[in-house]
Structure 1
Amino acid sequence: MSQEHMTALRCVHCGQRHPVDAVAYTCPHCGIEGILDVEYDYNEVAGTLTREALAARPLNQWRYEELLPLDARAERPALHVGMTPVYESPALARDVGLERLVLKDEGRNPTGSFKDRSSALAVMKAREAGRDTVACASAGNAAASLAGFAAVMGVRSVIFVPQRTPEPKLAQLLVTGARVLRVEGSYDDAYWLCQAACERYGWYNRNCAINPYLVEGKKTAGLELAEQLGARMTDWVAVSVGDGCTLAGIWKGLKEMKRLGLIERLPRMMGVQAAGAAPVAAAMETGALKPMEARTLADSIAVGWPRNWRKAVDAVRESGGCFVSVEDAEMLAAQGQLARRTGVFAEPAAAAALAGLVRAVREKRVDPAESATVVVTGHGLKDVRTAMQALEAPLDVAPRVEAMEALLARIG
């Protein structure tokens, strides 16, 4: 049923529309610049995607089947994806200097990150296309996510990771049986090698940078926010940005819910990049992408040559939002602040969204009377080594009460 609602694949570069069955990845006229966007017949969608219908559906991302590029009859992964919790945090709001602050905790997805939304879709699309192998290049989260969903769906996965990928993320890949190729170089080096491998061997390409269907999985977070917040939608939604498709996907989901009459107003989007890897923020100012060498401890957003930058820039402009760049030290500070105030442990790239919001309030780009949602895209256990850099060492003590008392008296 849902696949019948797709009408075209539109190139965000040249604007040309292509039949949904005619193009696999990018616009044939624009090459790698021709990122495609899936379009739907919203009049048809509105007939069945209603508040009443949603109230009776399972609390996962498949509840939005009319807005997903899949046959509704297709087998779905057994793992629960989506409808991650949102938390109101008055204490964190006071710290940041805002009237209201909400968290959406994507670390509660099966492999601990937002990327599960698109990986679940990727494996289903691969099976639909008759492919037995799915590949991707990733700094860690997309890789771990794909490996997990490929395993549960009985599909082979080949993962290209950069040399600096954290050990916990490598462990997730290896324990699920993925074929892991650690590339001697950066994420961009891994990306190009993955592209070449997919072309040579005919593997299904899970890279969101070129695969238009995967952003449709990411947009389900925006669809959920619209349902979860409803009339209390925040003024801002802050999202960390690497390639750009996460922010673009969330914005698309929010817009679709507004178009369907399921929310009354839209938030402004805030894209947050690491200062050492901020080509999308720069493109917002110049209108053109200038690739750079990524230098940041936040591996998940260490992208120097983002392919989906145009969608992210368009989303921020259309929403009247902004881009913010933050230093690594600001991310680590936000990581600790988030955990101490809410109990949510975010990896540095996820904490970047909070760090950006803090900076935006301080620079008066966000008014203290406004409200904001921070999307926490990945769990902190993904990169424990980096988190430990900003923390005090544990206190060693002998197993005697007297030793404990002496230690506590000394440290106060």
Structure 2
Amino acid sequence: MTAPHWTLQCSACGSAAPLARAGLCPACSQPLFARYPNVPKSTTLDARWDMWRYRPLMPLAAGESPVTLGEGLTPLIESTSLAADVGVARLWIKDEAQNPTASFKARGMSAAVTRARAEGYPGLVVPTAGNAGAALAAYGAAAGMPVKVFAPRTTPRPILDTIDAFGADLVRIDGHIGDAGKLALAHAAETGFFAISTLREPYRVEGMKTMGFEMAEQLGWRVPDVVVYPTGGGEGTVGIWKALEELAAGGWLASERVQPRYVVAQAAGCAPIARAHAAGLDRAEPWVDPVTYAAGLRVPSPLGDRVLLRILRETNGVSGTAGEEDIREWTRRLAEATGIDAAPEGGCALVVLRDAVRAGRIAADSEVVVYNTGSGASYRA
């Protein structure tokens, strides 16, 4: 068999790691990243119409077919009215609700399940605040692999119903996603299932980075001034940042700018990254008693905290929080202004952007891409 065209390297200490049964760095227990030879812009992208058209920069072995449901290639929709509302020159919404299972999580699960199937894992397990569980249930079904999902009882009912519909073994728990994570890891240790937790293995973020590939391509291989991402576990922000680094290394970018300024948007009731960033720290302390309507932001102790805080430092980034009333109001505004059935995470992103512009932390002449990470329908019982 042809050797894989990627290697694994620690995001923190730089140590190389074996491909087989990859998890965290064996040396320092921080997330691993897949690394690729530079792929020049002369490379022809695949003709297929999903995220796997970027396969030269993806963890897919020669001759291998991905586990796919047609994820990716979501629209980038400009809104002049929202740009005026928040006070910037131009604003686009990257609508991840149009993925299979109605969120950006489909991308990561397609990549991770592809690798899990190739490595012969007996099954898949995930802790979830909602959308990750629905996505894994769908992609596990597509791969013919059993799936175990641990979810807080506070997860929106439509998402739990979706997990059930795909035949996953769903365990509802009292507590938050951190509690679900402990149960998922214990189940993986007992059964040999692949634990697909955010950044605990290296492949979910490889699916997420296709959001960055697409954004750059949709803008004519340019990078916007600012990217706003509603952040729970952080794999979306990390993925976009990683994608742009890889594009720059291959000479794909037409703009001199390689990275935008990143805005990490969190709910006021669960904001470990925003709190750590404001304090100038390089890691985040767990958030006690996380509470927010936006279930995807209810992540009290993100494993990717060090990477996220590094990205904010290196890009002169901004972090901020939104209260519950503002999240609901701006989710409604997003929907009414664009026709996008926005999740509350998308509303949170707009609130934090508005506040950053008002405070002079984001310039009024900025071109901004805001990610709506899921569907409002997932929150309606």
Does TM, normalized by the shorter one, top 0.5? yes
- 2:104 corresponds to: 114
CA distance in 2, matches of 1:2, 1:173: 36
- 2:351 corresponds to: 355
- SS of 2:217's equivalent in the other structure is helix
Aligned-pair CA distance for 1:363: 1.3
Counterpart residue type for residue 44 of structure 2: A
- 2:283 corresponds to: 288
1:118-157 aligned within 5 A: 118-157=108-147
Distance 1:2 1:40, change over 3 A: farther
- SS of 1:104's equivalent in the other structure is strand
- SS of 1:147's equivalent in the other structure is helix
- 1:11 corresponds to: 10
1:245 paired with 2:242, answer no
1:63-212 aligned within 5 A: 63-212=53-202
CA distance in 1, matches of 2:159, 2:2: 33
Counterpart residue type for residue 156 of structure 1: P
CA distance in 2, matches of 1:118, 1:2: 24
- Of 221, 224, 228, the match for 2:218: 228
Distance 1:52 1:14, change over 3 A: closer
Counterpart residue type for residue 33 of structure 2: D
- 2:323 corresponds to: 327
Distance 1:2 1:65, change over 3 A: farther
- SS of 2:101's equivalent in the other structure is coil
Aligned-pair CA distance for 1:231: 5.2
CA distance in 2, matches of 1:230, 1:374: 17
Distance 1:72 1:358, change over 3 A: farther
| Structure 1 gap ranges (5+) | 386-412
Counterpart residue type for residue 27 of structure 1: C
1:251-400 aligned within 5 A: 251-263=241-253, 264=255, 265=257, 266-284=259-277, 285-293=280-288, 294-384=290-380
- Which structure would you say has the larger Rg? 1
Larger relative helix fraction = 1
CA distance in 1, matches of 2:189, 2:243: 31
Distance 1:139 1:2, change over 3 A: farther
1:53 paired with 2:51, answer no
Show CA shifts across 1:22-71 (max 9, x none).
x620112223xx211222221xx22xxx35612x6223111111211121
Counterpart residue type for residue 77 of structure 1: V
Aligned-pair CA distance for 1:332: 1.0
CA distance in 1, matches of 2:115, 2:360: 44
Distance 1:93 1:82, change over 3 A: same
CA distance in 1, matches of 2:68, 2:345: 28
Alpha-carbon contact 2:5-2:61 (below 8 Å) kept: no
CA distance in 2, matches of 1:324, 1:133: 38
CA distance in 2, matches of 1:196, 1:38: 25
- SS of 2:248's equivalent in the other structure is helix
TM-score, length-scaled by structure 2: 0.94
- SS of 1:111's equivalent in the other structure is helix
CA distance in 1, matches of 2:221, 2:109: 30
CA distance in 2, matches of 1:287, 1:150: 35
Show CA shifts across 1:368-410 (max 9, x none).
111100011001111126xxxxxxxxxxxxxxxxxxxxxxxxx
- 1:30 corresponds to: 28
Matched pairs, number: 375
Counterpart residue type for residue 375 of structure 1: Y
Show CA shifts across 1:92-128 (max 9, x none).
1111111100110000001100000011112111111
Alpha-carbon contact 1:218-1:250 (below 8 Å) kept: yes
- SS of 1:103's equivalent in the other structure is strand
| Structure 2 gap ranges (5+) | none
TM-score, length-scaled by structure 1: 0.87
Aligned-pair CA distance for 1:17: 2.2
Aligned-pair CA distance for 1:205: 1.2
Counterpart residue type for residue 105 of structure 1: D
Q: Percent identity?
A: 37
Show CA shifts across 1:213-238 (max 9, x none).
11111111001111111255321010
Counterpart residue type for residue 276 of structure 1: G
Which range moves more in the overlay, 224-233 or 368-377? 224-233
